[in-house]
Amino acid sequence: MAKPMEQNNKQTEQKLSKGREQIKKAHQTQTKPNVKQTEISSIRPPHLCPICGQMAQQNAYPFCSTRCRAIDLNRWLSGSYILPPLPQKADEEE
C-alpha cells in the first residue's frame, strides 16, 4: 500500500519542480531589456496554484482555473480548512 502513496508523492514533487522552473523562466523574461512595450506585464509575480501546483492564471488568481478555485471554496465550506481559535483571556487577566 505504500507504493501508491510514494507514486503520488513523486508526482506531486514533479509538479512542484515543474512549477518552480516555470516561475524561474517567468522571472527571467521579466528582466530582459528587449521586452516590447506593447506586451502587457502581469502586476502580480508568478505564483503556483495551491491546489494542483500549476502556474496561476490571471483570471482565477491565485488559482490556475475556476475548477481549482471551486475546489478550494468547497474545502472551506465543508470544514476541511479550520482557522485556529483566538487566544482566550484568562479570568485573572480581566
Bind-site residues: 49, 52, 64, 68
19-61: per-residue pLDDT in tens?
778 777 776 665 555 545 445 556 778 889 999 999 999 888 8
**Domain assignment present for 33:** no
For residue 49, the model assigns a pLDDT of: 94
Task: Please give the grid coordinates belonging to residue 42.
Answer: 502581469
**Domain assignment present for 67:** yes
Task: Please give the grid coordinates belonging to residue 28.
Answer: 527571467
Task: Please give the grid coordinates belonging to residue 58.
Answer: 490571471
Query: Distance between CA 20 and CA 80 in Å, rounded?
Result: 27
SS3 at position 2: helix
Q: CA 56, 57, 61, 63 torsion: positive or negative?
A: negative
* Least confident range of 67-71, 72-76, 80-84: 80-84
**Domain assignment present for 19:** yes
2/54: higher pLDDT = 54
Range 75-94 average pLDDT: 82
Query: Distance between CA 53 and CA 89 in Å, rounded?
Result: 40
**Domain assignment present for 16:** yes
Range 10-22 average pLDDT: 78
Bind-site residues for Zn(2+): 49, 52, 64, 68
CA-based nearest residue to 14, from 52, 50, 56: 52
Domain of residue 75: give its range: 12-23+44-80
**Domain assignment present for 39:** no
**Domain assignment present for 52:** yes
Number of structural domains (the chain) is: 1
**Domain assignment present for 73:** yes
Range 57-82 average pLDDT: 93
Q: What is the CATH number of the domain that holds 16?
A: 3.30.50.10
**Domain assignment present for 3:** no
Query: Distance between CA 55 and CA 76 in Å, rounded?
Result: 22
For residue 92, the model assigns a pLDDT of: 59
